[in-house]
Structure 1
Protein backbone atom coordinates (compact mmCIF):
# COMPACT_ATOMS: atom_id res chain seq x y z
CA UNK A 1 0.00 0.00 0.00
CA UNK A 2 1.40 3.40 -1.00
CA UNK A 3 1.80 5.92 1.79
CA UNK A 4 -0.42 8.98 1.43
CA UNK A 5 1.66 12.15 1.34
CA UNK A 6 0.87 15.32 3.31
CA UNK A 7 -0.67 18.19 1.35
CA UNK A 8 0.38 21.74 2.26
CA UNK A 9 1.27 20.65 5.76
CA UNK A 10 -1.99 18.77 6.20
CA UNK A 11 -2.42 15.05 6.62
CA UNK A 12 -5.19 12.68 5.67
CA UNK A 13 -6.74 11.30 8.84
CA UNK A 14 -9.68 9.00 9.57
CA UNK A 15 -12.07 9.43 12.49
CA UNK A 16 -15.20 7.65 13.68
CA UNK A 17 -18.28 9.87 13.85
CA UNK A 18 -22.06 9.56 13.83
CA UNK A 19 -23.56 10.55 10.48
CA UNK A 20 -26.86 12.41 10.90
CA UNK A 21 -29.38 10.98 8.42
CA UNK A 22 -32.22 13.29 9.43
CA UNK A 23 -32.99 15.87 12.11
CA UNK A 24 -36.14 17.58 13.33
CA UNK A 25 -37.01 19.79 16.28
CA UNK A 26 -40.52 19.75 17.71
CA UNK A 27 -42.53 20.57 20.80
CA UNK A 28 -44.56 17.99 22.66
CA UNK A 29 -46.70 18.42 25.77
CA UNK A 30 -48.79 15.93 27.71
CA UNK A 31 -50.60 15.51 31.03
CA UNK A 32 -50.33 12.72 33.57
CA UNK A 33 -52.66 11.93 36.46
CA UNK A 34 -51.02 9.55 38.95
CA UNK A 35 -53.56 7.72 41.08
CA UNK A 36 -53.30 5.93 44.40
CA UNK A 37 -50.80 6.47 47.18
CA UNK A 38 -47.44 7.98 46.14
CA UNK A 39 -44.36 6.97 48.12
CA UNK A 40 -42.87 9.78 50.21
CA UNK A 41 -39.99 8.61 52.42
CA UNK A 42 -40.19 10.03 55.94
CA UNK A 43 -43.93 10.76 55.91
CA UNK A 44 -46.15 9.34 58.65
CA UNK A 45 -49.89 9.42 59.18
CA UNK A 46 -49.32 12.24 61.67
CA UNK A 47 -47.42 14.47 59.20
CA UNK A 48 -49.19 17.81 58.74
CA UNK A 49 -49.50 18.83 55.10
CA UNK A 50 -51.12 22.18 55.83
CA UNK A 51 -49.76 25.01 53.68
CA UNK A 52 -47.59 22.77 51.51
CA UNK A 53 -46.87 24.00 47.99
CA UNK A 54 -46.82 21.15 45.47
CA UNK A 55 -44.33 21.26 42.56
CA UNK A 56 -42.68 18.64 40.39
CA UNK A 57 -39.47 17.68 38.62
CA UNK A 58 -39.10 15.59 35.45
CA UNK A 59 -36.07 13.96 33.81
CA UNK A 60 -35.41 11.29 31.16
CA UNK A 61 -35.28 7.76 32.54
CA UNK A 62 -31.78 6.55 33.34
CA UNK A 63 -32.43 3.25 31.50
CA UNK A 64 -33.93 3.09 28.00
CA UNK A 65 -35.01 6.74 27.78
CA UNK A 66 -36.00 6.15 24.13
CA UNK A 67 -37.27 2.89 22.63
CA UNK A 68 -38.21 2.41 18.96
CA UNK A 69 -41.36 0.29 19.01
CA UNK A 70 -42.04 0.19 15.26
CA UNK A 71 -40.39 1.33 12.03
CA UNK A 72 -42.40 1.39 8.78
CA UNK A 73 -41.36 2.55 5.30
CA UNK A 74 -43.65 5.21 3.84
CA UNK A 75 -43.48 6.76 0.33
CA UNK A 76 -43.51 10.57 0.09
CA UNK A 77 -43.29 13.08 -2.75
CA UNK A 78 -41.08 15.99 -1.68
CA UNK A 79 -40.39 18.83 -4.13
CA UNK A 80 -41.47 16.58 -6.99
CA UNK A 81 -39.16 13.72 -5.98
CA UNK A 82 -40.44 10.39 -4.70
CA UNK A 83 -38.61 9.35 -1.52
CA UNK A 84 -38.97 6.55 1.00
CA UNK A 85 -38.99 7.72 4.61
CA UNK A 86 -39.69 5.85 7.82
CA UNK A 87 -42.56 6.39 10.21
CA UNK A 88 -41.24 5.64 13.68
CA UNK A 89 -43.30 4.84 16.74
CA UNK A 90 -41.15 6.00 19.65
CA UNK A 91 -41.66 5.37 23.35
CA UNK A 92 -40.09 8.02 25.58
CA UNK A 93 -39.57 7.15 29.23
CA UNK A 94 -39.35 9.70 32.05
CA UNK A 95 -39.23 9.85 35.83
CA UNK A 96 -41.30 12.42 37.71
CA UNK A 97 -40.88 13.49 41.32
CA UNK A 98 -43.44 15.36 43.41
CA UNK A 99 -42.00 17.99 45.77
CA UNK A 100 -43.82 19.48 48.77
CA UNK A 101 -42.44 22.75 50.16
CA UNK A 102 -43.72 23.86 53.58
CA UNK A 103 -43.97 27.42 54.95
CA UNK A 104 -40.92 26.85 57.20
CA UNK A 105 -38.78 25.98 54.13
CA UNK A 106 -38.56 22.20 54.62
CA UNK A 107 -39.32 19.92 51.69
CA UNK A 108 -40.53 16.40 51.07
CA UNK A 109 -39.72 14.61 47.82
CA UNK A 110 -41.51 11.57 46.46
CA UNK A 111 -39.93 8.47 45.06
CA UNK A 112 -39.51 8.32 41.28
CA UNK A 113 -42.76 7.97 39.37
CA UNK A 114 -42.11 6.24 36.00
CA UNK A 115 -43.94 7.82 33.06
CA UNK A 116 -44.01 6.67 29.42
CA UNK A 117 -45.42 8.43 26.37
CA UNK A 118 -45.48 7.33 22.74
CA UNK A 119 -45.46 9.42 19.59
CA UNK A 120 -44.92 8.96 15.87
CA UNK A 121 -42.34 10.88 13.85
CA UNK A 122 -41.37 10.68 10.19
CA UNK A 123 -37.64 10.66 9.45
CA UNK A 124 -35.10 9.32 7.04
CA UNK A 125 -34.23 6.51 9.43
CA UNK A 126 -33.72 3.25 7.51
CA UNK A 127 -33.23 -0.03 9.31
CA UNK A 128 -29.94 -0.01 11.20
CA UNK A 129 -29.97 3.67 12.13
CA UNK A 130 -30.35 4.77 15.72
CA UNK A 131 -32.69 7.47 17.00
CA UNK A 132 -31.48 10.01 19.55
CA UNK A 133 -33.79 12.36 21.43
CA UNK A 134 -32.23 15.32 23.23
CA UNK A 135 -34.33 17.75 25.24
CA UNK A 136 -33.50 21.42 24.86
CA UNK A 137 -36.25 22.06 27.38
CA UNK A 138 -37.95 19.60 29.70
CA UNK A 139 -40.20 20.96 32.41
CA UNK A 140 -43.37 20.22 34.34
CA UNK A 141 -45.88 21.93 36.58
CA UNK A 142 -48.66 20.76 38.87
CA UNK A 143 -52.07 21.73 37.55
CA UNK A 144 -54.32 20.29 40.28
CA UNK A 145 -53.74 18.40 43.52
CA UNK A 146 -57.09 17.89 45.19
CA UNK A 147 -56.97 16.89 48.85
CA UNK A 148 -53.70 15.60 50.34
CA UNK A 149 -53.83 12.71 52.82
CA UNK A 150 -50.72 11.48 54.63
CA UNK A 151 -50.15 7.80 55.35
CA UNK A 152 -47.31 5.56 56.46
CA UNK A 153 -44.59 6.62 53.99
CA UNK A 154 -47.14 7.78 51.44
CA UNK A 155 -49.28 10.73 50.38
CA UNK A 156 -52.52 10.34 48.45
CA UNK A 157 -53.78 13.13 46.16
CA UNK A 158 -57.48 13.11 45.37
CA UNK A 159 -57.05 14.88 41.99
CA UNK A 160 -53.39 15.15 40.96
CA UNK A 161 -52.70 16.38 37.43
CA UNK A 162 -49.22 17.19 36.13
CA UNK A 163 -48.42 18.86 32.79
CA UNK A 164 -45.12 18.03 31.08
CA UNK A 165 -43.70 20.23 28.30
CA UNK A 166 -40.79 19.24 26.06
CA UNK A 167 -38.74 20.84 23.31
CA UNK A 168 -36.99 17.94 21.66
CA UNK A 169 -34.29 17.44 19.07
CA UNK A 170 -34.76 14.11 17.27
CA UNK A 171 -31.99 12.72 15.06
CA UNK A 172 -31.47 9.49 13.16
CA UNK A 173 -27.79 8.55 13.17
CA UNK A 174 -25.39 5.81 12.09
CA UNK A 175 -21.67 5.39 12.96
CA UNK A 176 -19.32 5.93 10.01
CA UNK A 177 -15.59 6.37 9.39
CA UNK A 178 -14.65 9.51 7.44
CA UNK A 179 -11.40 10.71 5.85
CA UNK A 180 -10.34 14.34 5.48
CA UNK A 181 -7.34 16.63 5.34
CA UNK A 182 -6.51 18.28 8.62
CA UNK A 183 -3.81 20.10 10.53
CA UNK A 184 -2.60 18.55 13.75
CA UNK A 185 -3.24 20.74 16.77
CA UNK A 186 -0.25 22.20 18.57
CA UNK A 187 -0.19 23.09 22.27
CA UNK A 188 -0.30 26.78 23.11
CA UNK A 189 2.64 28.45 24.79
CA UNK A 190 2.71 28.23 28.54
CA UNK A 191 1.96 31.40 30.49
CA UNK A 192 5.02 31.98 32.64
CA UNK A 193 4.42 33.66 35.96
CA UNK A 194 7.57 35.56 36.98
CA UNK A 195 8.53 38.02 39.69
CA UNK A 196 7.77 41.66 38.99
CA UNK A 197 10.81 44.01 38.84
CA UNK A 198 11.38 46.28 41.83
CA UNK A 199 9.50 49.55 41.66
CA UNK A 200 9.72 52.87 43.48
CA UNK A 201 6.99 55.39 44.17
CA UNK A 202 6.59 58.45 42.02
CA UNK A 203 8.63 61.44 43.32
CA UNK A 204 7.60 65.07 43.75
CA UNK A 205 10.77 66.71 42.43
CA UNK A 206 9.02 70.08 42.06
CA UNK A 207 8.74 70.50 45.83
CA UNK A 208 11.67 68.37 47.12
CA UNK A 209 14.61 68.52 47.36
CA UNK A 210 14.85 72.32 47.70
CA UNK A 211 16.63 73.80 44.69
CA UNK A 212 17.71 76.85 46.69
CA UNK A 213 14.97 79.20 45.55
CA UNK A 214 11.44 80.13 46.47
CA UNK A 215 8.84 79.83 43.75
CA UNK A 216 6.35 81.97 45.60
CA UNK A 217 7.00 85.76 45.68
Structure 2
Protein backbone atom coordinates (compact mmCIF):
# COMPACT_ATOMS: atom_id res chain seq x y z
CA UNK A 1 0.00 0.00 0.00
CA UNK A 2 1.44 3.35 -1.03
CA UNK A 3 1.38 6.09 1.61
CA UNK A 4 -0.83 8.98 0.59
CA UNK A 5 1.19 12.09 -0.15
CA UNK A 6 0.63 15.10 2.07
CA UNK A 7 2.98 17.29 0.03
CA UNK A 8 2.06 20.93 0.05
CA UNK A 9 0.14 20.78 3.31
CA UNK A 10 1.45 23.45 5.68
CA UNK A 11 0.38 24.89 8.97
CA UNK A 12 1.53 27.86 11.02
CA UNK A 13 2.43 26.52 14.45
CA UNK A 14 3.28 28.02 17.82
CA UNK A 15 5.50 25.65 19.80
CA UNK A 16 7.10 25.83 23.22
CA UNK A 17 10.79 24.94 23.23
CA UNK A 18 14.09 25.90 24.80
CA UNK A 19 16.47 28.40 23.22
CA UNK A 20 20.18 27.80 23.76
CA UNK A 21 21.78 31.18 24.42
CA UNK A 22 25.32 29.83 24.70
CA UNK A 23 27.08 26.48 24.87
CA UNK A 24 30.63 25.46 25.73
CA UNK A 25 32.36 22.14 26.30
CA UNK A 26 35.46 22.16 28.45
CA UNK A 27 37.51 20.22 30.94
CA UNK A 28 37.90 21.15 34.60
CA UNK A 29 40.43 19.67 37.01
CA UNK A 30 40.30 19.91 40.80
CA UNK A 31 43.00 18.83 43.25
CA UNK A 32 41.70 17.60 46.59
CA UNK A 33 43.71 16.85 49.73
CA UNK A 34 42.20 13.99 51.74
CA UNK A 35 43.01 12.24 54.98
CA UNK A 36 41.39 8.90 55.74
CA UNK A 37 41.76 6.47 58.63
CA UNK A 38 42.78 2.82 58.30
CA UNK A 39 41.28 0.68 61.04
CA UNK A 40 42.54 -2.80 60.22
CA UNK A 41 45.80 -2.46 58.30
CA UNK A 42 49.46 -1.85 58.74
CA UNK A 43 51.23 0.65 56.51
CA UNK A 44 53.25 -2.21 55.07
CA UNK A 45 49.97 -3.86 54.00
CA UNK A 46 48.97 -0.98 51.70
CA UNK A 47 49.77 -1.79 48.06
CA UNK A 48 47.77 0.79 46.07
CA UNK A 49 45.13 3.45 46.70
CA UNK A 50 42.41 4.31 44.17
CA UNK A 51 39.24 6.39 44.07
CA UNK A 52 35.84 6.84 42.44
CA UNK A 53 33.94 10.12 42.04
CA UNK A 54 30.20 10.79 41.83
CA UNK A 55 29.09 14.34 40.87
CA UNK A 56 26.12 16.10 42.43
CA UNK A 57 23.97 18.88 41.00
CA UNK A 58 25.83 22.06 40.08
CA UNK A 59 24.57 25.41 41.43
CA UNK A 60 25.04 28.90 39.95
CA UNK A 61 26.25 31.19 42.73
CA UNK A 62 26.68 34.43 40.82
CA UNK A 63 26.74 36.02 37.37
CA UNK A 64 28.30 39.41 36.59
CA UNK A 65 28.22 41.41 33.38
CA UNK A 66 31.52 41.81 31.55
CA UNK A 67 32.16 43.87 28.42
CA UNK A 68 34.02 42.29 25.50
CA UNK A 69 34.97 43.19 21.94
CA UNK A 70 34.39 40.24 19.59
CA UNK A 71 35.02 40.64 15.85
CA UNK A 72 35.16 44.38 16.40
CA UNK A 73 31.71 44.51 18.00
CA UNK A 74 31.06 45.33 21.68
CA UNK A 75 29.10 42.66 23.53
CA UNK A 76 28.00 42.10 27.12
CA UNK A 77 28.61 38.61 28.46
CA UNK A 78 28.41 37.16 31.94
CA UNK A 79 31.08 35.86 34.28
CA UNK A 80 29.25 32.88 35.81
CA UNK A 81 30.38 31.31 39.08
CA UNK A 82 29.36 27.66 39.33
CA UNK A 83 29.53 25.63 42.52
CA UNK A 84 30.12 21.92 42.01
CA UNK A 85 29.78 19.22 44.62
CA UNK A 86 30.99 15.66 44.25
CA UNK A 87 31.58 12.64 46.42
CA UNK A 88 34.95 10.89 46.37
CA UNK A 89 35.23 7.30 47.58
CA UNK A 90 38.66 5.87 48.45
CA UNK A 91 39.65 2.22 48.05
CA UNK A 92 42.78 0.49 49.36
CA UNK A 93 44.28 -2.64 47.82
CA UNK A 94 46.45 -4.58 50.25
CA UNK A 95 49.52 -6.64 49.49
CA UNK A 96 47.43 -9.80 49.77
CA UNK A 97 45.29 -8.59 46.83
CA UNK A 98 42.24 -7.75 48.93
CA UNK A 99 40.54 -4.45 48.05
CA UNK A 100 38.25 -2.55 50.41
CA UNK A 101 36.49 0.80 50.67
CA UNK A 102 37.98 2.88 53.45
CA UNK A 103 36.21 6.24 53.25
CA UNK A 104 33.83 8.48 51.30
CA UNK A 105 33.90 12.27 51.53
CA UNK A 106 31.95 15.10 49.89
CA UNK A 107 33.77 18.13 48.46
CA UNK A 108 32.68 21.41 46.94
CA UNK A 109 34.67 23.44 44.45
CA UNK A 110 33.85 26.52 42.37
CA UNK A 111 34.60 27.41 38.76
CA UNK A 112 34.06 30.54 36.66
CA UNK A 113 33.18 30.56 32.96
CA UNK A 114 32.29 33.26 30.44
CA UNK A 115 28.86 32.74 28.89
CA UNK A 116 26.04 34.63 27.27
CA UNK A 117 23.84 34.03 30.30
CA UNK A 118 21.79 37.13 31.19
CA UNK A 119 19.46 37.14 34.18
CA UNK A 120 16.51 34.83 33.61
CA UNK A 121 18.46 32.19 31.71
CA UNK A 122 19.17 28.80 33.23
CA UNK A 123 22.74 27.51 33.35
CA UNK A 124 22.87 23.74 33.03
CA UNK A 125 25.96 21.58 33.59
CA UNK A 126 26.09 18.05 32.17
CA UNK A 127 29.09 15.84 32.86
CA UNK A 128 30.12 13.81 29.82
CA UNK A 129 33.00 12.15 31.65
CA UNK A 130 34.00 12.09 35.31
CA UNK A 131 37.12 10.46 36.69
CA UNK A 132 39.58 10.69 39.54
CA UNK A 133 42.96 9.29 40.47
CA UNK A 134 45.25 9.30 43.48
CA UNK A 135 48.39 11.22 42.58
CA UNK A 136 50.29 10.70 45.86
CA UNK A 137 49.60 8.99 49.16
CA UNK A 138 51.45 8.64 52.44
CA UNK A 139 50.60 6.19 55.18
CA UNK A 140 51.23 7.43 58.71
CA UNK A 141 51.52 5.34 61.86
CA UNK A 142 50.07 7.39 64.69
CA UNK A 143 51.10 6.86 68.29
CA UNK A 144 47.48 7.00 69.33
CA UNK A 145 44.49 6.05 67.25
CA UNK A 146 44.25 4.31 63.86
CA UNK A 147 46.61 4.58 60.93
CA UNK A 148 45.94 7.39 58.48
CA UNK A 149 46.42 8.00 54.77
CA UNK A 150 47.27 11.45 53.46
CA UNK A 151 46.12 11.59 49.84
CA UNK A 152 46.43 13.93 46.90
CA UNK A 153 43.36 13.23 44.73
CA UNK A 154 42.78 14.77 41.31
CA UNK A 155 39.24 14.96 39.92
CA UNK A 156 38.81 15.51 36.16
CA UNK A 157 35.47 16.59 34.69
CA UNK A 158 34.58 16.77 31.01
CA UNK A 159 31.49 18.92 30.92
CA UNK A 160 28.91 20.55 28.71
CA UNK A 161 27.64 23.93 29.97
CA UNK A 162 24.62 25.61 28.39
CA UNK A 163 22.61 28.74 29.14
CA UNK A 164 18.98 28.30 28.10
CA UNK A 165 15.60 30.03 28.25
CA UNK A 166 12.06 28.76 27.43
CA UNK A 167 10.59 30.44 24.35
CA UNK A 168 7.46 30.22 22.19
CA UNK A 169 8.19 30.10 18.45
CA UNK A 170 5.92 30.73 15.46
CA UNK A 171 6.94 28.54 12.51
CA UNK A 172 5.55 27.45 9.14
CA UNK A 173 5.86 23.70 9.00
CA UNK A 174 5.14 20.95 6.49
CA UNK A 175 3.07 18.00 7.66
CA UNK A 176 5.08 14.84 8.19
CA UNK A 177 4.28 11.88 5.96
CA UNK A 178 4.14 8.22 6.95
CA UNK A 179 6.75 5.98 5.34
CA UNK A 180 5.94 3.33 2.77
CA UNK A 181 4.99 -0.11 4.08
CA UNK A 182 7.79 -2.62 3.74
CA UNK A 183 7.01 -5.53 1.39
CA UNK A 184 6.24 -8.74 3.21
CA UNK A 185 5.41 -11.94 1.36
CA UNK A 186 5.00 -14.78 3.83
CA UNK A 187 5.70 -18.30 2.56
CA UNK A 188 3.06 -20.86 3.43
CA UNK A 189 4.59 -24.00 4.97
CA UNK A 190 4.15 -27.34 3.24
CA UNK A 191 1.88 -29.90 4.91
CA UNK A 192 3.68 -31.93 7.54
CA UNK A 193 2.78 -35.52 8.41
CA UNK A 194 2.78 -36.03 12.17
CA UNK A 195 5.14 -38.59 13.63
CA UNK A 196 3.65 -42.09 13.73
CA UNK A 197 3.80 -44.84 16.35
CA UNK A 198 3.93 -47.98 14.15
CA UNK A 199 5.21 -50.16 16.94
CA UNK A 200 2.09 -49.43 18.98
CA UNK A 201 -0.58 -48.79 16.36
CA UNK A 202 -1.91 -50.02 14.06
CA UNK A 203 -1.23 -53.58 14.98
CA UNK A 204 -1.00 -56.42 12.45
CA UNK A 205 -3.45 -59.25 13.07
CA UNK A 206 -1.91 -62.68 12.65
Decide: shared fold, TM above 0.5: yes
Q: Is the aligned partner of 1:54 residue 2:49?
A: yes
- What is the TM-score of this pair, normalised by structure 1? 0.69
Cα distance in 2 for partners of 1:196, 1:103 equals 67
Cα distance in 2 for partners of 1:191, 1:105 equals 60
> Tell me, which stretches of 5 or more residues in structure 2 are unaligned?
1-5, 192-206
CA deviations on 1:194-214 (whole Å, 9 max, x unpaired) are 675239xxxxxxxxxxxxxxx
Matched with 1:71 is 63
The match for 1:139 among 118, 131, 137 is 131
Q: Decide whether aligned partners of structure 1 residues 108 and 71 sit closer, same or farther in structure 2, where only a CA change above 3 A counts.
A: same
More strand by share: 2
Matched with 2:154 is 163
Matched with 1:203 is none
Contact residue 78 and residue 114 of structure 2 kept, 8 A: yes
| Count of matched residue positions in the alignment of Structure 1 and Structure 2 | 182
The match for 2:101 among 101, 109, 121 is 109
The match for 2:169 among 162, 173, 178 is 178
Contact residue 139 and residue 147 of structure 2 kept, 8 A: no
Counterparts of residues 71-90 of structure 1 (less than 5 Å): 71-90=63-82
> Tell me, which stretches of 5 or more residues in structure 1 are unaligned?
1-5, 200-217
Cα distance in 2 for partners of 1:177, 1:191 equals 41
Match of 2:34, SS? coil
Cα distance in 2 for partners of 1:71, 1:192 equals 60
Pairwise CA distance, 1:146? 0.8
Matched with 1:16 is 16
Pairwise CA distance, 1:165? 1.4
Q: Is the aligned partner of 1:126 residue 2:118?
A: yes
CA deviations on 1:171-193 (whole Å, 9 max, x unpaired) are 11111222331434748859989
- What is the TM-score of this pair, normalised by structure 2? 0.72
Matched with 1:208 is none
Pairwise CA distance, 1:94? 1.1
Cα distance in 1 for partners of 2:58, 2:182 equals 45
Contact residue 10 and residue 184 of structure 1 kept, 8 A: no
